[in-house]
């Protein structure tokens, strides 16, 4: 493990040279035994919910608990609107765990809190220039923020009492959460869906439409066309559709376009 990365502040870390992160060949992950096993365990897509599904506005059910973990990542919350994205996505993750009670709730919640902390340890000037333009899903900076997020997890989780096996499972989900096209487990799938769901709420549309340089109406069209079909679970699809209709109504996107 890289001791410098473990101890660096976000500002110090972003000044370090950028190594070349290893990229998987296209299709490689779909053949990964973990992806194959997950697809066999959950053949019906989107995966039907086993528990209650809430589609109420997400502001009515903030996430609860894990205060020590939140306190540990305050420095990382200041980059790329993580202080909005992480708590909102965590509230969605909490709802998804209610809908899929067979998932490891603590793993899902700890991972969603940590998943984008790596943005605080990459060159901030490259986040918008590379991370949201052109072929943004394959941008080198996306691989970097995943790898750096794993370093944050490895730095903060041991002191909070999490064992090595748990930390490995957290890092397995963080590593590839944006760049790997397939999920390896139900917990991985719930983190992926929670990471996307926040965009459908009014706050997510306001924040991320500006990242992509789009007006809100065009952005909600993109959510409908590109992001909604990527959702893995039926509960997330229900939530996204309801949020999208609510957000479009509030912003009058049928007129303001």
Residues that bind Fe ion (CB under 5 A): 116, 178, 195
Q: Find the largest Cα–Cα distance for the chain.
A: 54
Taking the complex as a whole, the smallest distance from the CB of residue 80 to Fe ion amounts, in Å, to: 9
CA distance linking residue 194 with residue 85, whole number of Å: 10
Beta carbon nearer to Fe ion, 179 or 220: 179
Nearest-5° Cα angle at 113, 107 to 115? 90
Tell me how far apart the alpha carbons of residues 251 and 247 are, in angstroms, rounded to a whole number: 6
Closer by beta carbon to Fe ion, 49 or else 141: 141
Closer of 128 and 245 to Fe ion (Cβ): 128
Q: Residue 192 CB: number of other CB atoms within 10 A?
A: 24
The CA R_g of the chain, rounded to the nearest whole Å, is 18
Query: Shortest gap between Cβ of 145 and Fe ion (angstroms)?
Result: 6
d(CA 199, CA 89): 9
Spatial separation of the C-alpha atoms in residues 222 and 136, rounded to whole Å: 15
CB of 107 to Fe ion, least distance (A): 17
47: which strand partners? Answer: 233
In the beta sheet, which residues pair with residue 233? 47
| Choice between 88 and 247, CB closer to Fe ion | 88
Q: Whole-number minimum distance, CB 116 to Fe ion, in Å?
A: 4
* Of residues 118 and 216, the one with the C-beta less far from Fe ion: 118
List Cα–Cα distances, 57 to 48, 60, 92, in angstroms.
Answer: 21, 6, 10
Closest to 31 (Cα-Cα) out of 181, 204, 227, 242:
181
Name which of 143 and 217 has its Cβ closer to Fe ion.
143
Q: How far is the CB of 18 from Fe ion (least distance, A)?
A: 17
CB of 149 to Fe ion, least distance (A): 7
Q: Kindly tell me which of 204 and 216 has the beta carbon lying closer to Fe ion.
A: 204
CA dihedral over 87, 92, 93, 94, signed as positive or negative: positive
Q: How far is the CB of 249 from Fe ion (least distance, A)?
A: 26
């Amino acid at each position: 493990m890289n001791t410098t990365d473990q101890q660096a502040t976000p500002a110090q870390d972003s000044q370090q040279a950028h190594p070349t992160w290893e990229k998987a060949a296209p299709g490689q992950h779909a053949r990964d035994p973990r992806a194959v096993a997950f697809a066999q365990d959950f053949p019906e897509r989107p995966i039907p919910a086993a528990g209650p599904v809430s589609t109420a506005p997400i502001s009515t059910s903030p996430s609860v608990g894990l205060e020590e973990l939140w306190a540990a990542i305050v420095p990382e919350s200041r980059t790329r609107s993580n202080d909005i994205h992480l708590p909102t996505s965590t509230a969605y993750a909490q709802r998804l765990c209610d809908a899929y009670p067979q998932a490891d709730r603590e793993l899902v919640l700890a991972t969603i809190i940590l998943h984008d902390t790596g943005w605080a340890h990459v060159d901030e000037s490259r986040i918008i220039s590379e991370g949201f333009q052109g072929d943004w899903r394959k941008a080198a900076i996306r691989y970097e923020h995943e790898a750096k997020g794993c370093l944050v997890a490895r730095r903060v989780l041991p002191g909070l009492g999490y064992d090595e096996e748990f930390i490995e499972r957290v890092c397995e989900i963080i590593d590839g959460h944006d760049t790997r096209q397939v999920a390896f487990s139900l917990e991985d799938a719930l983190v992926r869906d929670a990471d996307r769901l926040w965009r459908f709420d009014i706050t997510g549309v306001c924040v991320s439409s500006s990242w992509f340089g789009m007006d809100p109406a065009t952005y909600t069209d993109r959510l409908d066309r590109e992001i909604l079909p990527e959702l893995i679970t039926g509960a997330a699809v229900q939530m996204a559709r309801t949020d999208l209709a609510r957000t479009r109504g509030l912003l009058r996107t049928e007129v303001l376009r």
